[in-house]
Amino acid sequence: MKIAVIGTGYVGLVAGACFAETGHDVICVDKDSAKIRTLNRGRIPIFEPGLEEIVRRNRQRKRLAFTTSLPGAVRRSDVVFIAVGTPTGEDGSADLKYVLAAADEIGRAMNGYKVIVDKSTVPAGTAELVEQTIARRTKHPFSVVSNPEFLKEGAAVEDFLKPDRVVIGAKDEQAAELMRELYRPFTRTGAPIMVMDPVSAELSKYAANAMLATRISFMNEFANICEAFGGDIDQVRRAIGADRRIGPAFLFAGCGYGGSCFPKDVRAVIRFSAERNYRFRILEAVERVNEAQKVRLLRRVDQLLGRRLSGRRIAVWGLAFKPRTDDMREAPSIPIIRGLLDRGAKVRAFDPEAMETARAVFGRRIGYAADAYDALRRADALVIVTEWNEFREPDFERMQKMMKTPIVIDGRNIYEPERMRELGFTYASVGRP
């Protein structure tokens, strides 16, 4: 099958590479000519484990190509995926200008029947808007399908190749069957292909992310209650995670969620619900809790070092919003570091993958360490923001020798409090004694 994917961000690039991996002829389109040149040279502009190998292999086998020409890609394809960004607008809604601009160009380029697939995360009713936009530009027949992605950054390739489920929102059987054929290689182990109406498919993505964000904020609220009463959030987590009705996933307390999906999608649900005169009170609370949680670690700093940090050196481990990515969009590290700087601290930070991203955010306002230990030189305290595996079992003796004072403020609960005390650290974490 011949496939075009418009947009080469996390979703578009992963989708295009994985479809090529199963033998399809895929061409990925982006208006950013510098990005296309980078991809055509065999380099990947984002960090995503496993993606570079798949892209390189399928380029060598002539199944994956990159171009800036959207009309040419559309004309040679049977299926056209729209995987462009839907950033948050000033009012919190998902901005559809890139989606509808792509739809308009697709309509102008049509030369026969096509299936147009909304892969971007879009509000309910977008498939209809895309259909209307294309219909204004072409007389050729076409179908519009909603096919939301459920990829986790840091595991996007694995998630695409081995999905939990595939959701297809289609109004006609011809398009639905073509999509089933496209996804059969990924669902041989029994993952369901769920065909439904486009609006339900669109809402399913938002519902999934909103539920996960809610679990995170709920556990962070309970972590704060544990601190107030002297409880241990890890024990609470184990107890409720053992309940089959609840399960253990997304029950870890910390310093809040970030990234390109959860914050944006929660705000979008709140906004499009309000457009239909419905106030989504639970998600309003989820967002408020998360924003407060991001800076709650600063209270620990205040308690242990005081609010005036002029001349104090603070090490920060972790800048990306989660491990296995270089993405810092809405990352808790940003308000935490800004809070430290506002208090007068000198911040020296390290992240295994997000150092260049951080330089674009903070410039020269902070120091950038060569490795985790380099960040600790003469540090008055260490703040852990992202739970990278390489932070889990460090050389604690070396840490103590390098730090001015052995204070660790752990925003991800990666160490055991009792062990840290035995090792001689002053240790604070989230929701634990």
Instruction: Give residue 317's identity as a one-letter amino acid code.
Output: W
Please state at what angle helix 233-241 crosses helix 198-229, rounded to 10 degrees: 140
3-class secondary structure, 382: strand
What's the pLDDT tens digit per position in 368-387?
Answer: 999 999 999 999 999 999 99
Select from 331, 310, 307 the least CA-distant residue to 319: 331
End-to-end CA distance of the chain: 58
188: CB partners within 8 A, 6+ apart:
none
What's the pLDDT tens digit per position in 374-425?
Answer: 999 999 999 999 999 999 999 999 999 999 999 999 999 999 999 999 999 9
Residue 16: what pLDDT? 98
Cα Rg of the chain, angstroms = 24
Query: Which residues, given as ranges, of the chain have pLDDT below 50?
Result: none
pTM here?
A: 0.93
Residue 257: what pLDDT? 97
Residue 230: what pLDDT? 96
Distances (CA, A) of 353 to 49, 251, 294, 387, 414: 11, 25, 21, 13, 19
Q: Which tokens go with 311?
A: 């001349």
For residue 27, the 8-state DSSP code is E
Residue 90: what pLDDT? 84
3-class secondary structure, 50: coil
Q: Which tokens go with 273?
A: 């619900």
- Rounded Cα distance, 148 and 34, in Å: 27
- Rounded Cα distance, 6 and 67, in Å: 10
Residue 411: what pLDDT? 97
- Rounded Cα distance, 5 and 14, in Å: 10
Instruction: Give residue 55's identity as a one-letter amino acid code.
Output: V
Residue 89: what pLDDT? 87
Residue 256: what pLDDT? 96
Task: Please report which residue ranges of 50-172 form alpha helices under DSSP H.
Answer: 51-60, 70-75, 97-109, 126-135, 156-161
Q: Which residues are catalytic?
A: 261
Q: Which domains does the chain have, with CATH numbers?
A: 2-196 (3.40.50.720), 206-293 (1.10.1040.10), 295-428 (3.40.50.720)
Select from 377, 320, 313 the least CA-distant residue to 341: 313
